[in-house]
């Protein structure tokens, strides 16, 4: 027995030890890896969709929150919170965010345009800010307001102003789904 270990293998034993993988074995291994990769691929596409949805949610919330905070910081009788002297019961303004618009061209530094300009590129977001005014006696038993006051109401009768921001993404669908939308409301008192 010790004699066999001193000399290298020869002939058939050496060829069998050095043979390695055959082409069939390599194809079977590749097929197994392909099946595993196909099983994992939906996880990556779902992660991309979830990341896009998270980005949309953050963007839409920040745009709406900044508008609510800007309006909330104004004086109670500021022109941006005052209804026109008419029979209107709300003051609604709409502005839009277009794709690829340089901020220096926009009406303000954020890139928002009044209305829905079609010459600025594809619209990504539309933001509608609505102001309504109420008398504290308009509050019903369920904590809801009955009817908003008209712009012709004596300013001394207006105790609360509702600021509502509704922001809607314009992407209707596709591989990443539809855009998010959000509505924020707050009350400002005198």
Q: What is the pLDDT of residues 77-120, one digit of tens each?
A: 888 888 887 778 888 888 887 765 554 444 444 566 776 665 66
Distance (Å, whole) CA 188 – CA 76 = 7
pLDDT of residue 34: 94
pLDDT digits over 31-82, tens only? Answer: 999 999 898 888 888 888 888 778 777 877 887 888 889 889 989 888 888 8
pLDDT at 7: 54
Confidence of residue 10 (pLDDT cuts 50, 70, 90): low
Give CA–CA dist 72/163, Å, rounded. Answer: 8
pTM exceeding the 0.85 threshold for the entire prediction: no
For residues 161 and 186, give the distance between their C-alpha atoms in angstroms, rounded to a whole number: 8
pLDDT by residue (tens digit) across 123-167?
777 889 999 998 888 777 776 777 888 888 888 888 888 899 988
Range in 6-20, 75-89, 116-130, 168-182 with the lowest mean pLDDT:
6-20
């Amino acid at each position: 027995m010790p004699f066999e270990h001193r000399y290298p293998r020869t002939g058939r034993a050496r060829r069998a030890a050095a043979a390695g993988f055959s082409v069939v074995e390599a194809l079977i291994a590749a097929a197994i890896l392909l099946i595993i990769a196909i099983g994992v691929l939906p996880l990556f596409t779902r992660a991309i969709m979830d990341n896009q949805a998270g980005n949309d949610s953050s963007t839409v919330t920040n745009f709406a929150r900044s508008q609510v905070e800007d309006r909330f910081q104004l004086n109670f009788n500021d022109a941006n919170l005052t209804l026109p002297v008419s029979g209107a019961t709300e003051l609604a303004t709409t502005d839009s965010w277009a794709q690829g618009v340089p901020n220096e061209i926009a009406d303000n530094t954020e890139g928002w345009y009044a209305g829905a300009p079609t010459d600025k590129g594809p619209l990504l977001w539309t933001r509608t800010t609505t102001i309504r005014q109420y008398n504290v006696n308009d509050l019903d038993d369920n904590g809801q307001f009955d009817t908003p006051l008209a712009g012709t109401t004596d300013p001394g009768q207006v105790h609360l102003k509702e600021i509502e921001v509704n922001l809607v993404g314009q992407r209707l669908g596709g591989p990443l789904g539809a855009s998010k939308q959000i509505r924020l409301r707050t009350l400002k008192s005198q």
